[in-house]
Amino acid sequence: MNEVALFFTKVSSSPLTHQHRSVAPESDLVRYTAVFAIPTPITDDSGIAHAIEHLIFRRSTRFPNPSTLFKINALASVKINASTTDGITYYFCQSDYIDDFLLAFDYLVSNIFSPTFSRQDLPFEVHGSGGKGVIFRELQALEKTIKFRNTALSYTQLLSLDSSNQRISLYGGISDKLTNITVDKLTEYYQTHYRPERVTLYTELAEVKPSDSFNKIIHLLQNALTQRDCFNERLPEKNDEEKQSILKESVCTELNDTLLTSCWIPVSYITTIKQNYCVIKGFDVKDQLQVLPFDETKNGAEQFALRFIHQSNLSKNIDSIISYLVDILEQEGEKATLSENNNINSTKQQDQVSHIMKWHINALRNTTGSQPSKLEVTSTKIYQQAVLSMTKPAAQTPTSLSSLYDNGRGFPASFLVCNKQGSHYSADINSLSYPKAPPQQIPRLFSPLKQAIKTELDKSSILFNKQTSKDLFIEQVLGCYDKDHFLLCFSVKNQHAVKVTVLSYLLAGSSQLLAPRLAGLCYATDIRFLKGENALYIYTAFDINPQNRISSVLEGLTSLQQDTDYLKHYLLSAKDKLAKELVSTHETDSIDLSVSDIQEMIKELVIIIKNNTTNIKGLHDTAIYNHRSYTT
């Protein structure tokens, strides 16, 4: 999508700041969009703003069921998502259909202004015993991506050691600090920072006469604010565990003469540094000086950092790097533009939402009139520790190196898996969160498992069409897992693509198959039919027990087959969603499905799994879960 100029008009209809604009219905924009921007300052690495984002999506006084978000995303033509950044949390919803959009907006505004925080939800959504907790699973995945030479520390853990004034807070949190988060702290933070007068709402409507839709939005907004006025969150009594100190003093061992040095550079020079990064990498000295992966994340002073791990006796090498940086920055000058921006991960948000985020941040900059920042260097001693949350105060040596200033704007965030901080997920992990990844692919994290399945499919494809005695919709099923993920693939006969698409929506929105995610046993789970592959996928990511996940899938399908009330209630929604998609792609396939048809399809999945559960294998085993055509 091409860049669009955003010109919003302030609407004075509520305590919050509401900016609205109408766009041409014939444009290529999503027709209906709403973005809430809420200042969420970060004062530590506990990830409390991140936790509130998750818990807001879990339940509210109006929507108390934790599966509601997944049902809406699965069964309506809508996207609902959020992004926690350094100092701002964004919530948004989008749809091309007004009824779906109003449903999503109602859900979003109700949960933002009247969430329910309970002690019972913390072990599932944040951190629980035995490695449970959605956020804990996510952060563990990030923290174990890369261990840097001469340390056993991940990139996230290295950043946590930085105590300089320039440091970038780990607003997504650190796994071992999640135990600092209590219901009391969540409630206090929420009541302080989620007040309506601190919230900015952006709405876009692509209608010739948007007054009716606009009035419905205002009505839902006013209802939510009224509900908030009646919502008096009672602080629960602290239990014995919370009265005690949760964290224990850790043992910190200083690594001999090992430093983490950060060169803080104005964000307007990101392009220059990227263009010269290969030269900078050339300063790497094996076992003595390591240039860390390039990270575009900025701090509050509009600086990003180049970071190096090195022995303290290599100061000359660091001086050479600094001299090189000063030279190229002085030669380049500043070339920032208003359209460039910071920390917005375009793989997670639609471009349209990203543009609204840019508008919001640029408006904040113009309001605050932030001063340009100098090029600076800080050095921090590295400590190896058992528990990072009680880190020793790190030694720092800030040095002003130049009078280079930045009066420009930011730059889009990095897509590096190991160090993404622009939103709290890595690039791969982004595709697992709300909303779902693009409908014709599954997240890249599953590539090794998917390749193993494809290899097995290729070996046995000659047998696919031998079953002709019954009109079954599954040709073959294969499954695979590794230490973190589980992937199950059903090969579907081409003539059944339409009805399997409807089935996939119903599976994805069911509480039965969402159970591992809702219980905090994995970071994400989803069910997706890929028409281009004629394949139905069921997966869990960063799973606490992927080798046994097939059991819960079987249990969930068995229960869902008998859940006539759910299927009756949501079958029409699933068919309506597919009908809208077929219209948008100019297809005319009929959708003739009954509840009993869906139950028969689920029964077929149950039978095929029951007949083959003993054959499931791990990624590195000689065989993987495999079933070819069968008769019942």
Q: Which pLDDT tens digit goes with each residue over 471-528?
A: 688 988 889 999 999 999 999 998 999 999 999 999 999 999 999 999 999 999 999 9
Is pTM, for the whole model, over 0.85?
Answer: no
Residues 546/481, Cβ–Cβ less than 8 Å: yes
User: Rounded to an integer, what distance in angstroms lies between the CA atom of residue 199 and that of residue 583?
Assistant: 37
Cross-strand partners of 625: 479
State the pLDDT at residue 98: 94
313 burial level (CB within 10 Å; 0-12, 13-18, 19+)? exposed
From 141-150, 180-189, 197-206, 286-295, the region with the lowest mean pLDDT: 141-150
8, two tokens: 């919003």
State the pLDDT at residue 460: 54
> pLDDT at residue 239 above 90?
no
Kindly list the distances between the CA atom of residue 529 and the CA atoms of 312, 445, 504, in Å, as whole numbers in the listed order. 54, 17, 6
> pLDDT at residue 172 above 70?
yes
From 3-12, 56-65, 241-250, 341-350, the region with the lowest mean pLDDT: 241-250
Owner of token pair 């001999």: 256
Radius of gyration of the chain from its Cα atoms, rounded to whole angstroms: 26
State the pLDDT at residue 368: 60
From 162-176, 440-454, 523-537, the region with the lowest mean pLDDT: 162-176
Q: Which pLDDT tens digit goes with each residue over 389-433?
A: 333 333 333 333 222 222 222 222 222 222 233 333 344 555 555
State the pLDDT at residue 554: 95
Q: Which pLDDT tens digit goes with each residue over 320-361?
A: 888 888 888 888 764 443 334 444 444 344 578 888 888 888
> pLDDT at residue 242 above 50?
no
176, two tokens: 């071992």
State the pLDDT at residue 432: 59
Q: Phi then psi for 300, rounded to 5 degrees?
A: -70, -15
Q: Which pLDDT tens digit goes with each residue over 359-381?
A: 888 787 776 655 545 678 888 77
> pLDDT at residue 609 above 80?
yes
3-state secondary structure of 520: coil
For the chain, percent of residues with pLDDT exceeding 70: 71
